[in-house]
């Protein structure tokens, strides 16, 4: 199965960041065929991140489910200080666009990196990683990922305090 090229995902990420930062939008009438769909802000509730996938308090809002033939979905994830995801991988990679706060991201075997508003983080396919808030600041990011064979993430073990505080 072919995976969407990185330039396409980057263009999508830039468009989503611009929409998130600038707001607004237009509705175009369609005489035939599919019509543009707008999901209004607040239409998707923020749900607590499941304890099996997150340490600390995180909230997840699904902003866009995949619409065939596309396999791309988008969510907004907010982490309170000290909260983080479990280790995980994505079969087609993931893009994080930081919209607020100060966060951390780590690839297995590498050092923890800071993420700040406006940063765009590309995580290649199959790379084991985690992301979340710093120890003293919350963070919010958009998460963009593509499904392969119906799956967009494989969740692994929790990030222990000893790993998080290195």
Query: Each residue's pLDDT tens digit in the chain (166 positions)?
Result: 444 444 545 555 545 444 444 444 444 555 678 889 898 888 888 999 999 999 999 999 999 999 889 999 999 999 999 999 999 999 999 999 999 999 999 999 999 999 999 999 999 999 999 999 999 999 999 999 999 999 999 999 999 999 998 6
Half-sphere exposure of 139 (CA within 13 A, CB side): 27
Gap between the Cα atoms of 43 and 82, Å rounded: 28
User: What CATH topology corresponds to 59-166?
Assistant: Jelly Rolls (2.60.120)
- Residue 21 three-state SS: helix
Gap between the Cα atoms of 54 and 61, Å rounded: 14
- Residue 74 three-state SS: strand
Q: Where do the domains of the chain lie? A: 59-166
Assess contact for 27 and 36: CB atoms under 8 A: yes
Tell me the backbone φ, ψ of residue 34, rounded to 5 degrees. Answer: -65, 150
Q: What is the predicted pLDDT for the residue at 26?
A: 45
Assess contact for 84 and 159: CB atoms under 8 A: yes
Judging by beta carbons within 10 Å of its beta carbon (0-12, 13-18, 19+), is residue 163 exposed, middle or buried? middle
């Amino acid at each position: 199965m072919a995976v969407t090229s990185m330039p396409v995902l980057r263009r999508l990420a830039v468009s989503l960041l611009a929409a998130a930062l600038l707001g607004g939008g237009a509705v175009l009438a369609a005489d035939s065929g599919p019509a543009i769909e707008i999901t209004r802000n607040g239409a998707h509730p923020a749900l607590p991140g499941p304890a099996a996938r997150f340490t600390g308090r995180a909230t997840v809002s699904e902003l866009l489910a995949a619409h065939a033939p596309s396999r791309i979905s988008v969510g907004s994830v907010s982490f309170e200080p000290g909260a983080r995801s479990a280790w995980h991988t994505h079969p087609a990679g993931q893009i994080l666009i930081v919209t607020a706060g100060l966060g951390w991201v780590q690839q297995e075997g590498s050092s923890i990196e800071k993420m700040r508003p406006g940063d765009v983080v590309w995580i290649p396919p199959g790379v084991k990683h985690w992301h979340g808030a710093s120890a003293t600041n919350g963070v919010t990011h958009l998460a963009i990922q593509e499904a392969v064979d119906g799956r967009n993430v494989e969740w692994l073990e929790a990030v222990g305090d000893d790993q998080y505080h290195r």
